[in-house]
C-alpha cells in the first residue's frame, strides 16, 4: 500500500516475540490462521485480559474484549440473535434511510464528505439499536463514544504501568504517579455516558429499535434482569464495533474511487445497465446483478482491511504447531494486512484492482471470503450487517454513491488537479485514510432531483 503502510514486511509465516512478559504470536498466512484460530478454536478463542481494560470496565461489558467463557457465550448468542440474516433484513429500511441522508448531505455540502462518512454508520447503529437520532458528530453520545474510544491508547503493554504491574490498578487515582489509573477512570466515565445518554435521551421513543423492543417486552414481564443486562452490553458493544470499521472501509472506497476513474466508469456503466433509464436509487435487491460493484467492495476490504492486525485471540491451553511450542496465554494476532497482500494469492497486491475478484466472463470468482472480518469463534458478529452475501452498510454506501455522484480529484484556484496522497493512520479502532480533498458532483439533474425528493419524504 505504498507509503501508508506502517508495518515492516513479514519476515516469516509465523513470528514470535515476547513483549514485557507477554508471549505474542503473529500469523502472516491465511492457512495458519485457519488452522489455529478455526480448526483449533477450542483453545484459541480467549482474549488477553489487560489490567487497564479492567480498570475501564471494558472486560465485563464489551464483548470484543471479554475472555472466552460462559459470560462471553451468552453475549455472543444475543449478538447473533440480533444480527442473523432475517433480523438484518428487518433493519433494511433503517440502512436505506441513512444512506439517503448521506446522499443528501453529499449533495448539499460535498466538501464535508469525511464528516458525513463518519456520521453514516454511527447514525445507523444508534437508530437501529436505541431509536436515537444523531445529526452531527457534536452529539453528546458521539462525543462520549469518541472520548471512551481514546481508552484504547491504554491497551498496549507499555502504555500503562498497570499493565506490567497489575496491583497499580487498585491504587487510588489521587496518588501521584498513577496517571494511567486516572486516565482509566476518565475513560470509564465516558463509557458509562456512552451507555446512559442514548437510553435516557431517545428522541423518538416510538421508533422501532432493539432497546425499545426489549423495554416493551420488559413491561409485560418478558425479560429477565440477566437478559436486560446482556442486551444493554450488546447495544453498547455493537455501537462501538460498527462505527470505526465501517468508516474506515467507506473512507478507503472514496479514496480509491477518486484516484481510479476507470474503475468508477466501469461501475457506473454496470449500475446504469441494471437500474435502467428511469433512474431510481439502488436497493439491496440490485446486489446480485452488480458483480463489478461487488468486486469493488471485496477489493476495498482487501486493499485496506480496517484492522490490519485484527483483534488478538488468546490461547487457553498449551499447544504445539509446526514443531513450535505455543504456551497457554499467548496473544495470537492475525496479520490480516499481510494475508490480503500476499503476492502468492494477489498479484500486484498494492494495486487497487477489483478485476482480481472476477472470472474471464466478468462474473465473481470464488474468492468470496472477506478476511477483514477475522477468524473462528471470535470472528466479527457484524458480518451480516457489514458485509455477508446480501445485506450490508458498506455495500449500500458504495453502490449509492457510485450511482449518484462523479468523484474525482479536486482542483485548485488555477484549475490544476490537487493530488491525493496515500497517507493512512491507525487510531486504534481502525486504519483510516487521512483527510483529503476531492470533488463530488451529482451525475445529472435527474439524480439531484431524486435525492431531494427522497429526502423530503423520509
By CB under 6 A, residue 438 contacts ligand HEM: no
Identity of the residue, 340 or 406, whose beta carbon is nearer to ligand HEM in the bound complex = 340
Q: CB 454 → ligand HEM: shortest distance, Å? A: 24
Instruction: Return the ∠ at Cα 331 (arms to 327 and 334), rounded to 5°.
Output: 120
- Determine if 76 is a binding residue for ligand HEM (CB under 6 A): yes
Question: For residue 209, what is the DSSP state?
Answer: -
| Options 197, 230, 254, 386; binder of ligand HEM; rule CB under 6 A | 386
For the chain, the first-to-last Cα distance in angstroms comes to: 40
When the beta carbons of 84 and 109 are compared against ligand HEM, the nearer one is: 84
Instruction: Let me know: does 281 contact 450? Beta carbons within 8 Å.
Output: yes
- Select from 130, 122, 133 the least CA-distant residue to 213: 130
Cβ–Cβ < 8 Å for 164, 20: yes
Backbone angles phi and psi of 436, in degrees to 5? -145, 165
d(CA 47, CA 71): 13
Strand pairing category for 431-433 and 424-426: antiparallel
8 A C-beta contact, residue 309 and residue 336: yes
Q: How far is the CB of 148 from ligand HEM (least distance, A)?
A: 16
- Shortest gap between Cβ of 379 and ligand HEM (angstroms)? 5
Query: Residues 433, 340, 24, CA angle at the centre, nearest 5°?
Result: 90
Q: Which residues pair with 424 in a beta bridge?
A: 433
Tell me if 288 sits within 8 A of 9, measured CB to CB: no
Nearer to ligand HEM, 241 or 293 (CB): 241
Region binding ligand HEM by CB under 6 A among candidate stretches 111-119, 178-186, 292-300, 366-374: 366-374
Q: Which stretch binds ligand HEM (CB under 6 A): 94-102, 337-345, 353-361, 382-390?
A: 382-390
Q: What is the closest distance, in whole angstroms, from the C-beta atom of residue 458 to ligand HEM in the complex? A: 22
Our finding on whether 1 is near ligand HEM (CB under 6 A) is no
Does 230 participate in binding ligand HEM (rule CB under 6 A)? no
Of 250 and 268, CB closest to ligand HEM: 250
Burial class of residue 86 in the structure, from the number of CB atoms within 10 Å of its CB (0-12 exposed, 13-18 middle, 19+ buried): exposed
CB of 442 to ligand HEM, least distance (A): 26
- Interaction between residue 64 and ligand HEM (CB under 6 A): yes
The one segment of 4-12, 188-196, 302-310, 418-426 that binds ligand HEM by CB under 6 A: 302-310
Q: Which of 91, 75, 146 is nearest to 124 (CA)?
A: 91
Minimum separation from the CB atom of position 171 to ligand HEM (A): 30
Contacting residues toward ligand HEM, per CB under 6 A: 63-64, 76, 79, 237-238, 241-242, 245-246, 249, 306-307, 310-311, 313, 372-375, 378-382, 385-386, 394
Amino acid at each position: 500500500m505504498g507509503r501508508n503502510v506502517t508495518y515492516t514486511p513479514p519476515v516469516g509465516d509465523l513470528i514470535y516475540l515476547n513483549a514485557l512478559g507477554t508471549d505474542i504470536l503473529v500469523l502472516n498466512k491465511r492457512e495458519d490462521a485457519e488452522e489455529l484460530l478455526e480448526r483449533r478454536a477450542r483453545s484459541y478463542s480467549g482474549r488477553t485480559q489487560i489490567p487497564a481494560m479492567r480498570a475501564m470496565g471494558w472486560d465485563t461489558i464489551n464483548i470484543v474484549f471479554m475472555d472466552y467463557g460462559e459470560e462471553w457465550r451468552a453475549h455472543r448468542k444475543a449478538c447473533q440473535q440480533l444480527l442473523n440474516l432475517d433480523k438484518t433484513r428487518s433493519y433494511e429500511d433503517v440502512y436505506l434511510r441513512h444512506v439517503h441522508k448521506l446522499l443528501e448531505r453529499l449533495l448539499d455540502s460535498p466538501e464535508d464528505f469525511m464528516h458525513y462518512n463518519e456520521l453514516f454508520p454511527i447514525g445507523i447503529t444508534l437508530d437501529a439499536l436505541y431509536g436515537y437520532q444523531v445529526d452531527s458528530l457534536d452529539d453528546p453520545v458521539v462525543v462520549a463514544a469518541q472520548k471512551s474510544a481514546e481508552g484504547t491508547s491504554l491497551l498496549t503493554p507499555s502504555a500503562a504501568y498497570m499493565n506490567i504491574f497489575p496491583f497499580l490498578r487498585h491504587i487510588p487515582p489521587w496518588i501521584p504517579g498513577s496517571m494511567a489509573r486516572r486516565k482509566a477512570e476518565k475513560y470509564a466515565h465516558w463509557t458509562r455516558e456512552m451507555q446512559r445518554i442514548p437510553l435516557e435521551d431517545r428522541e423518538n421513543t416510538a421508533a422501532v429499535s432493539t432497546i425499545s423492543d426489549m423495554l416493551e417486552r420488559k413491561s409485560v414481564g418478558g425479560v429477565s434482569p440477566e437478559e436486560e443486562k446482556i442486551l444493554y452490553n450488546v447495544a453498547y458493544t455493537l455501537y462501538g464495533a460498527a462505527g470505526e470499521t465501517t468508516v474506515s472501509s467507506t473512507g478507503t472506497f472514496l479514496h480509491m474511487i477518486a484516484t481510479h476513474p476507470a474503475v468508477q466508469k466501469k461501475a457506473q456503466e454496470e449500475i446504469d445497465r441494471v437500474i435502467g433509464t428511469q433512474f431510481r436509487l439502488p436497493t439491496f435487491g440490485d446486489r446480485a446483478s452488480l458483480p463489478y460493484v461487488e468486486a469493488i467492495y471485496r477489493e476495498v476490504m482487501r486493499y485496506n482491511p480496517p484492522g490490519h492486525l485484527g483483534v488478538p485471540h488468546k490461547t487457553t491451553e498449551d499447544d504445539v504447531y509446526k514443531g513450535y511450542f505455543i504456551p497457554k496465554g499467548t496473544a495470537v494476532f492475525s496479520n490480516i494486512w499481510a494475508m490480503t497482500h500476499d503476492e502468492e494469492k494477489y498479484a500486484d497486491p498494492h494495486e487497487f484492482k477489483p478485476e482480481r475478484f472476477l472470472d474471464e466472463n466478468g462474473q465473481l470468482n470464488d474468492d468470496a471470503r472477506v478476511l477483514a472480518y477475522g477468524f473462528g469463534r471470535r470472528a466479527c458478529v457484524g458480518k451480516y450487517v457489514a458485509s455477508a452475501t446480501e445485506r450490508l452498510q458498506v455495500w449500500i454506501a458504495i453502490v449509492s454513491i457510485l450511482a449518484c455522484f462523479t468523484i474525482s480529484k479536486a482542483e485548485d484556484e488555477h484549475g490544476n488537479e490537487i493530488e491525493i496522497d496515500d497517507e493512512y493512520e491507525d487510531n486504534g479502532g481502525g486504519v483510516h485514510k487521512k483527510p483529503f480533498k476531492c470533488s463530488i458532483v451529482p451525475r445529472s439533474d435527474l439524480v439531484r432531483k431524486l435525492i431531494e425528493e427522497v429526502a423530503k419524504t423520509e
